[in-house]
Structures are given as C-alpha cells and as structure tokens.
Amino acid sequence: MRVPTLAVLLATLVVMLAAAPGLAPFGDPTAPASGHVAGHYLEHAYHDAHTPNVVTVMIADYRSFDTLGETMVVFAAGLACALMLLPRGRRGRVPRFLHRKVNLIAEVIVRIMLPAVQIFAFYVIFHGHYSPGGGFQGGALLAASILLGRIVLGRSRSQAAFPTALGRPLGAIGFAVFAGIGLVGFAAGGAFLQYDRMPFALPPDMLRNWGILGIELGVAMAVMGTLVSIFDDLSVGGR
Amino acid sequence: MIDLLIAGLFVFAGVAAVVALVVRDLLAASVALSTFSFIVALLYVVMGAVDVGFNEAVLGAGVTGTLFVVAIFRTRRGSMD
C-alpha cells in the first residue's frame, strides 16, 4: 500500500475516533433520535396500521415517500450500469466463467439451497408485517438466489430460470406498482401514498396494512429486477 | 461473557477490514470484505437492529461480493496499489 493512501486512511481513522465520543450512549432514552417522533411511532403503529412490526410501519407507511426515493435510487443505479455498459455490450461475449463446465459438488449444494432460499425470500416479503424483513430484504434474497444460479448452474439453466431480458422490466414494474399504489389514495382525495383513502370497503387500519403489503411487493420486484440486471450488465456488457 | 464475544467481533471486523485493504489479490480482498459485512451484520443484530442486520447480511455479504467477483473476472485480478 502506498504512503499517501495509508496517510489518508489513518487521518480518517483519527477523525472517526475523535468523533465517536460525541455519539449518544447505546440505548439512551434521552438521545435526540429517541426524542421527537419515536414515542409516537411506538405508541400508535399497531393502532394505525394493524401491524406489530413497528419498523415495517415506519418504512412502508409513515415514511413511505422516503422509501419511494430509495427504490428510485436502486432503479437509477441499475439504469446507470446499463447506460455505461450496454451500448458497446451488444457485441460483448459471455465471459468464460459463466459457461464453463459445471462443478458437481457445487451444483448439488446449490440445487438443494436455491428452493430454500427462494421460499425464505417470499416468507420474508409476506411476513414483513410480523417479523424482521420486508420487500427490500426479500427482493435482495431473490436476486441473490438468481445470481447463485447464474454462477454455479451454467448459462442455459440459469437463463431458463430468469432470463436477462426480464430484469430491467421487472424493476420498472416494481417501481410502478409502488408509485401506483401511492396514486390510488391520491386519486381518491387523500395525500400521495395515503393508503387509508384507498376506495375499498375496509377499516382504515386494514387498508394501511394492505397498502404496506402492496408496497413491499413493489419494492421486492424493483430490487430483484435491478440487482439481477446489474449483474447481467456487468458480466455480459462492456468491452 | 457476551461483552467478550462482542469485543471479539469488533476485533475480527477490524482485522477483516485491514486484510481487505492490504491484500494484493483482489479476489481475496472481496472475500475479506464479505467477511467484514457479515460480522457487521452480526453486530447490528446484537444491537437490536435486526432489519438493518438482515439487509447487511444479504446485500453486503452476498450480492456485493458476487458483483465484485464478476467485476474482477472482467478486469484484472491483481491490485495496482
């Protein structure tokens, strides 16, 4: 490692260590982060959205506009990869390591693992109201299972499981689902992403519950499609 | 006892981070980075941020490592530094 790099790293370390004592103590109830709205969220989350997992209610309901922005960032990152890599990549060849001879041990292990990972991913998405996880984690798990297949199972079988052409459209559809659910409440006279104004005959807290599920599905599709398309652009595009 | 385990995790995370910086083989560096992400995910879970730990384990230790490996295969394996 060169000396300037080391100097920058050490300087950053010193700054971080100097700033660390300024942080609030772990679990401090008087810390600024636990002060303003945290108590309101903890008290009202179950009553508002009929969802025990407060983190999910915060991410997908109270701060869903923030989550919409995050989903857009992920999708934009995928588009940026495509724009940088694809224009020359239409002539690009598939790299050797993606269609070499399949390793038997790795293949057997992956074929046992893949269904378990995918089922767990759907569990994470649909059970996000009650346990840790949600659309983002579930979508990333689905994408990880596809990438594992891409690397281990060889090109033809992994393409049959999830074609490259499907990745970016799936990301766009997921983002559209998210924004579309937001627009339903908006069209019915509420605010953007105000689920309890959606025109269905359900009590408001159940409407928010279903709205959260719809948003999680949109996020999962967007994240999965985008991550797979980034991988495909990286491995096939460019050069 | 649990404090000792957490302290060990912090030390292990530091070691993994330094290894990822110092080692010249980029494939080894990406593996060390995945190790670092996994330890940090464990630390998040210990601190009660289960959702964040989940994200870190899936994205930091899983998907990012895969993307690094693909990028290394498309470029060069040795570090210029």
C-alpha to C-alpha distance for A202 and A185, rounded to whole angstroms: 14
Which residues, 6+ apart, have CB-to-CB distance to A181 below 8 Å? A193, A195, A198, A211, A214, A215, A218
CA A234 remoteness from chain centre: 19
**Do the Cβ atoms of A140 and A223 come closer than 8 Å?**
yes
**Do the Cβ atoms of A32 and A24 come closer than 8 Å?**
yes
The pLDDT assigned to A226 comes to 94
Crossing angle between the packed helical segments A204-236 and A38-49, to the nearest 10 degrees: 110
The pLDDT assigned to A67 comes to 92
Residue whose token pair is 């385990």: B5
Three-class secondary structure of residue B25 per DSSP: strand
The pLDDT assigned to A200 comes to 83
DSSP string over A132-155: S--HHHHHHHHHHHHHHHHHHS-H
Q: Taking chain B (81 residues) in consecutive chunks of 10 residues, what is each chunk's mean pLDDT?
A: 90 93 90 94 90 90 88 77 62
Contacts of B81 in chain A (CB under 8 A): 1-2, 5
What pTM, to 2 d.p., does this model score?
0.86
Min CA distance, A120 vs chain B (Å)?
12
The pLDDT assigned to A155 comes to 77
- What are the C-alpha distances in Å from A108 to residues A81, A105, A114, A153, B49? 32, 5, 10, 9, 34
Q: Which of A137, A145, A151, A226 to mutate to test the interface with B (most CBs of B within 10 A)?
A: A137
Chain A, nearest residue to B48 by Cα: A27
Chain B, nearest residue to A53 by Cα: B51
Choose among A132, A151, A230: nearest Cβ to B54: A132
The pLDDT assigned to A188 comes to 84
**Do the Cβ atoms of A147 and A139 come closer than 8 Å?**
no
Could you tell me the two tokens for A237?
A: 């595009």
A117-144: pLDDT as tens digits: 999 999 999 998 898 888 899 999 999 9
The pLDDT assigned to A22 comes to 87
C-alpha to C-alpha distance for A158 and A236, rounded to whole angstroms: 14
Give the residue among A3, B20, B39, A23 at the shortest CA–CA distance from A11: A3
A239 and B70 within 8 Å at the Cβ level: the answer is no
Collect the ranges in chain A with pLDDT lower than 70.
1, 87-101, 237-239
Could you tell me the two tokens for A87?
A: 């224009």
Q: Which of B66, B68, B76, B81 to mutate to test the interface with A (most CBs of A within 10 A)?
A: B66
A42-70: pLDDT as tens digits: 888 888 888 888 889 988 888 899 999 99
